[in-house]
């Protein structure tokens, strides 16, 4: 019984650390396409954290919106404007 709970704690720790790193890189990135890719990685890490916290409905909605629709919409928006953010 304890093996699964140890795995759950390790998974939660790794997922939240990755989400923190991805969020920081999204904030400081100047290239907007790279920022969108980082944000997709952050959505994957949050999905992992939601699964580790036993919330499958939240993970289902967050993965579909965060990985798919969100990045597709933002790439369409960036393609109509400029790619690099000015200083």
Partner 1 sequence: MDLAIVKSIVSGLMVLFITAIVLYTIRIIRGPTIPDMVLAVDALAYDMAVMIIALSFLFNTPYLAVASLPLVLWAYILDMYVAKYLERKSIGD
Judge residue 22's burial from the number of C-beta atoms within 10 Å of its C-beta, 0-12 exposed, 13-18 middle, 19 or more buried: buried
Q: Any contact of residue 12 with partner 1 (CB under 8 A)?
A: no
Min dist CB 85 to partner 1, Å, is: 15
Judged by CB under 8 A, the residue of 27, 54, 82, 84 near partner 1 is: 54
Q: Which residues pair with 84 in a beta bridge?
A: 31
Cβ-in-10-Å burial (0-12, 13-18, 19+) of 5 comes to: exposed
Minimum distance from residue 62 beta carbon to partner 1 (Å): 9
Q: CA 64 to CA 79: how far, in whole Å?
A: 22
28 belongs to the binding site for partner 1 (CB under 8 A): no
What residues make contact with partner 1 under the rule CB under 8 A?
3-4, 6-8, 10-11, 14, 18, 21-22, 25, 33-34, 37-38, 40-41, 44, 47-48, 51-52, 54, 56, 59-60, 63-64, 67-68, 71-72, 75-76, 78-79
């Amino acid at each position: 019984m304890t093996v699964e709970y140890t795995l759950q704690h390790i998974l939660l720790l790794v997922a939240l650390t990755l989400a923190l790193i991805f969020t920081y890189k999204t904030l400081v990135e100047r290239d907007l396409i790279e920022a969108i890719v980082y944000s997709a990685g952050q959505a994957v890490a949050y999905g992992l954290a939601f699964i580790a916290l036993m919330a499958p409905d939240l993970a289902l909605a967050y993965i579909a919106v965060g990985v798919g629709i969100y990045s597709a919409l933002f790439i369409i928006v960036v393609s109509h404007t400029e790619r690099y953010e000015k200083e």
